[in-house]
Structure 1
């Protein structure tokens, strides 16, 4: 995990003198898969709650079968249409649920590098986790949506209104101006800190509580300022993610 986040640092800093800009978002290719013998893994774009049902939607390999697998062996599946669009309905969990998406086409299986985490039965944060990368929130979130950490580096990320020119991020005595992408998404590397640490984004103060304690598997803590998660990555690595609460009324 350290190597993954450090690689992300190099990519984020390449060619940038005074500010860090987010990596370009993944293209939403909704047409049939281009010629080739590879299968496109699913990209989860939305999770909506309707009563006691969650609807997970996104895009994957055209006409492929999309499966969401949990650690307890449960699986939820649906077929993508000719444009790759899919919708999977599942019962809202009583508490938390971690799902791993994959696409199946014949004998081929294409697992996604992402994991879908649903907290508080879909009434808490709903996020897409990516090892070594920025967490993507699908729920209502403040300008600072997440802080990911591997114990050495921290990656802050979030979303602001489309058309925003700059996001100002202050942490540990440093101020960084970040240029959001076309959708308002942004990310920036922060210096390591033992925590707690005050992070200011566009004038709002957040207090990062520090890394989640070590855990063999998924651990979730409800804190006064948000949610703190320790989740498993590839090859036995793990990553800590803090999800700030939206602003109160």
Structure 2
């Protein structure tokens, strides 16, 4: 089979991370380490402020409380991936016809820690997120994922730009996106008829799809409540 023919039989599966692959939100989970000071800092900011920049300030607050890398990472390892969501991921391990990516507004440190914790690092061929690292003093530092000119998305990340790149790089036979947040909408709009969006019920993505902002959505919509729903869909549609 030629490379072009093989590509035409491939499936792209893209996961959002927070409240999609994970049950909870990494940033809000990490804020617990900052106590009342971190909560007050968050409450002082408005909707138009850059969330990623705010998290950089909160990480500095956490560091000022004596929390170093080891304690930080141990805290993040307490986050949960639903048992059936994990099983859904395991269905795709070793598949040469499926490419799994993560597209997330979390950060590289949090994602690396949790993929290691759940033994999923080898599954995901690409992780697109905000770069982060612990500096020489043990303070977590975060940067914007990239610069873009999209007026729809948050300042630090346009998910549509990366989805378009994924699609342009390989002519996938089908594409699947699993998400929950408002930031996933622009990515979902890059899907075509025959592709599938698994959108978490009761979360901002589902609500936005019902507004004029979602009128250009063309793919199949599959609402889900828990990892059990995602596993059921994967078993039916993505089994080898």
Higher helix share: 2
The answer to whether the superposition gives a TM-score over 0.5 is no
> Which TM-score applies when normalising by structure 2?
0.26
Greater relative contact order (Cα 8 A, min sep 6): structure 1 or 2? 2
Higher strand share: 1
